[in-house]
Amino acid sequence: MVVISESFLQHLESQAIQQSLTITPLINLKSFKRYVDDSQARFPSQEQANEFLKILNSQHPNIQYTIENEDENKTLNFLDISIINKGTGNYQFKVFRKDSITNVQIKPNSCHDPTIIKSIFTGFVDRAIKTCDKKYLDNELTFLTEMFTENGYDIKILRSIIKSRKNRNREKTPFETNNLVSLPWIPGVSPKLKKDFKKAGYKAVFKAGRNLNRLLTSKNKPQLEPNSNPGIYKLDCSCGKSYVGETRKKIASRITEHQKSTFLGKWDNSAVSLHAKTCHGQFNWHSKNNTVKIEERNFDRKVREALEIQYNKCSPSDGGLNLDDGQYVTTRFWKPLLQNIRRSHNNAPTDVIDVS
């Protein structure tokens, strides 16, 4: 739904922009940016802005925009930025906060890796440095320092972070993941472990422990019943033969159809019921391993089914239960490759081998 909504809005806005560039008098739309449902556009006059708003709202009756103009100080807030129009084609920027801000931050004595706690303030400082013009930067950094000081942070540490971020080397070093160790944060123990790992040539990073939400929901997450998706399935008969099929339904529903046809003696409904007519073996109808591969896409299901038929020797030429070799995969190129895979996994269940 997110993709569909975004595509529709882009189509609607494209039509409106194209229309505004062809009417008379022409609307001089200098720029148009949107993030989710907030847009920012520039026009040479208020009249042209209002005219473009009418064009936007005429595209679809259920999609109606409202407009917010610059205030008397030529300032307009967009997302978390205040944009100040200098009137000369230049703009200045500073961080914008709503009046409802609480200034509450995670406390420095919380049970987290101190590096993570410091990084919260560091993130605010980096945003200020990247966003604010020099005219507003000092005020923003002062506000951040006071806010975190109110939450119990050491002002000396905060000022040292600001100084280091201002003077930091912007050339980032490559991030090596091979020597990275992720550990849970344990007060008193984790800092010592970090030093020991550093001596051994590893960088230790720490993650927060499970919170109350994760503790309460760790064992009651809803799970689908086995074979509840479309895809490729395999039915094994106790006589030693197997059948491979594909379905866009739930695999459990398709297997139930096979079972019903066998029970009612409708031998011509499928290769499974046809086999049951002359075989005294039993199919494993309700195995949780009936699903070979979950696959929504029709073409990919057909290809995977054909490969699984060859891999499990279910084709008529191999004496299997399938009545054909499947679709699309008509070449015999795969035969030697699949035989080699089968030999290398001769001790593994064939219904868990991925041959894609």
Domain ranges of the chain: 2-69, 73-167, 180-213, 231-352
**Average pLDDT of every residue of the chain:** 84
- Tens of pLDDT, residues 133-185: 988 999 999 999 999 999 999 999 999 999 888 887 454 444 455 678 888 77
pLDDT of 266 above 80: yes
Q: Find all residues with CB under 8 Å of 20, minimum gap 6, and list them.
A: 26, 27, 29, 51, 52, 55
Structure tokens at 261: 């046809």
CA–CA separation, 198 vs 347, rounded Å?
42
- Tens of pLDDT, residues 204-240: 887 766 666 666 665 666 667 888 899 999 999 999 8
CA–CA separation, 185 vs 192, rounded Å?
11
CA–CA separation, 252 vs 317, rounded Å?
28
* 326 pLDDT tier (thresholds 50, 70, 90): confident
CA–CA separation, 247 vs 249, rounded Å?
5
pLDDT of residue 350: 43
CA–CA separation, 191 vs 113, rounded Å?
9
Q: Find all residues with CB under 8 Å of 134, minimum gap 6, and list them.
A: none
3-state secondary structure of 207: strand
H or E segment and range at residue 75: strand 75-78
Residue 232, beta-bridge partner list:
246, 293
DSSP state of 226: T
Structure tokens at 297: 């896409």
Specify whether the CB–CB gap between 217 and 281 falls below 8 A.
Answer: no
Average pLDDT of the segment spanning 84-113: 86
Average pLDDT of the segment spanning 1-9: 86
3-state secondary structure of 341: helix
pLDDT of residue 255: 92
Return left, alpha or beta for 55; rule: phi > 0 is left, psi -120 to 50 is alpha, else beta. Answer: alpha
Q: 43-47, 69-73, 108-112, 258-262: lowest mean pLDDT where?
A: 108-112
Residue 43 phi, psi (nearest 5): -135, 155
Specify whether the CB–CB gap between 233 and 245 falls below 8 A.
Answer: yes
Q: Find all residues with CB under 8 Å of 11, minimum gap 6, and list them.
A: none
pLDDT of residue 177: 55
